[in-house]
Amino acid sequence: MYSFLFFTDEVNEVAREEEMTFARNGTTFAGDADLEDVRLHQCIQVDIEAGFWNPTASQKRTRNFLQVTMAEKERPVVIKEEEVWSWGAGTDGQLGTGKLQDEHLPIQLHIGAGGGLVSVLSCGGAHVIALTTGGRVVTWGRGNCGQLGHGDMVSSLQPKPVEFFEGFIVTHVSAGWNHSGFVTDTGKLFTCGDGSFGQLGHGDCKSNSFPVMVSYFASRHVEQIACGMRHSLVLLEGHSGHRVYGFGSGKHGQLGISEDKVGSICLPQTTTGLEDANIFGINANGDHSAALSAEGCLYTWGRGFTGGSDVNNPQRLSSSLSFIQVALGWHHALLLTSEGEVYMLGGKHHGWLSESQRMNPVKHLSEGSKEVDLGKIPGLNGIKVLQIAAGAEHSALVTEKALVMTWGWGEHGQLGLGSTVDQASPQVVKLEHRPPTIHSRTEVFCGSGFTFAVRHLK
């Protein structure tokens, strides 16, 4: 997808003179309000290749004028709006390549996200949910439980818009092992997919192939959903009080709703012990749960890391570090500090580092005096990290210089290094090089055995 980049001032000037109608991301707009929109976006991207813009003769002259203006000023002429790559396990079409095969190297994709751009991805067991900049939802991959939300139980090898959300603006999505969660701008929560453990929150253990609103939260404002293997967490809007809820399987304490062992629950219940924490993010994967507070504190509950026992209530990790991101695998957790350093909890299996490979093992005490191993990820040598992601047994990060690095289990090519070899420390994934600019942002997302990278070019 190619776009022309116009700069705001020039566009404003010309637009006033010509009263042009542009098409941006498939949406036609014109007039003063739209010029404000243009200003907000710094530039407008006219997708001529996709045929969104059928200029009149006058507009063609304007376009020529703009192109000439740009050429004169030696501004960039043609850019891609975003670049998406996938690699790793492809057994259920989760790579979006249209094939059912693993890829050991990054494959570039063209996700027709209904004319919009991908703003964020959430990758589950073998399916992917893409949220576009316009709040639309596109899904692909395994659909055997209805987790794609298309109203059927079939897999989709290609990205496919979820028609159910026509007319909604979706603001947050999460893909679990075989279920999916969606939050709208009005704070409504919808779920679909496998409900065998009550993880859809509808009061039963049925599966749904269309998204269904979770009526328990009908009068509340949901901010986030996090879907794990067999459980879900919900974060409500606000700053204090009962804001985190859990439902689905609680076998390993991952719901955080009781000191005692619980089985599965199919209606949301409040997670206890977070009432006084100003939680801004929740995470779930495998049988693990985590939450981060605005103050940089990490809370974890559910299955124990590194062979430890299960934790039934959120435990704050006692540390002087300030955490800004957490990514959960099935046996490990990655933590990103405000300094751009990455630490790991657990990881005895594959997304791991063996004891001898840990460069800076540090012991931390969580509340309740349980000793927790927190290891600093080796091999980064002070490179600042901007973002982290974790698959079931592999890990990924994006550095300040927009490099994507991966390590851990590699059997399905999920490290994107061209082989199936495991790696004990972060290795650079070769993506088409593009010097980072203030307008570009690279992000990485991991599903159980696969990985996606998105480079946004503004």
Q: Whole-angstrom distance between the N-terminal and C-terminal Cα of the chain? A: 13
229 binds another protein per the rule CB under 8 A: yes
The site map against another protein for 135-174 (x = CB under 8 A) is -------x--------------------------------
CB of 143 to another protein, least distance (A): 13
Q: Could you give the CA distance from residue 129 to residue 278 in angstroms, rounded to a whole number?
A: 27
CB of 53 to another protein, least distance (A): 40
CB of 55 to another protein, least distance (A): 46
Contacts of 270 (CB under 8 A, 6+ apart): 242, 244, 245, 257
Question: Which one among 181, 193, 246, 304 touches another protein, defined by CB under 8 A?
Answer: 304
Residue number, 194 or 223, with CB nearest to another protein: 194
Question: Which one among 140, 299, 450, 452 touches another protein, defined by CB under 8 A?
Answer: 450
CB of 262 to another protein, least distance (A): 14
CB of 119 to another protein, least distance (A): 24
Stretch that binds another protein, among 64-72, 90-98, 219-227, 268-276 (CB under 8 A): 90-98
373 binds another protein per the rule CB under 8 A: no
349 binds another protein per the rule CB under 8 A: yes
CB of 92 to another protein, least distance (A): 6
Question: Which one among 85, 177, 352, 407 touches another protein, defined by CB under 8 A?
Answer: 177
407 binds another protein per the rule CB under 8 A: no
Q: Could you give the CA distance from residue 356 to residue 303 in angstroms, rounded to a whole number?
A: 24
Question: Which one among 70, 411, 424, 434 touches another protein, defined by CB under 8 A?
Answer: 411
CA atoms within 13 A on the CB side of 375: 24
C-alpha closest to that of 412 among 95, 90, 142, 143 = 90
94 binds another protein per the rule CB under 8 A: yes
Instruction: Say if residues 201 and 191 touch (Cβ distance below 8 Å).
Output: yes
CB of 244 to another protein, least distance (A): 24
Q: Could you give the CA distance from residue 440 to residue 70 in angstroms, rounded to a whole number?
A: 20
SS3 content of the chain, % helix, strand, coil (to 5): 10, 45, 45
Contacts of 254 (CB under 8 A, 6+ apart): 228, 231, 246, 284, 287, 288, 289, 301, 302, 303
Range 150-172 burial, b when 16+ CB lie within 10 A, else e: beeeebbbebbbbebbeebebbb
C-alpha closest to that of 191 among 223, 225, 221 = 225
307 binds another protein per the rule CB under 8 A: yes
CB of 150 to another protein, least distance (A): 19
207 binds another protein per the rule CB under 8 A: no
* Structural tokens at position 60: 């063609």
Q: Number of residues in contact with another protein, rule: CB under 8 A? A: 34
Residue owning tokens 């919900």: 234
Q: Which residues is 312 bridged to in the sheet? A: none
Binding site for another protein (CB under 8 A): 89, 91-92, 94, 125-126, 142, 177, 196, 229, 251-252, 303-309, 330-331, 348-350, 391-393, 409, 411-412, 447-450
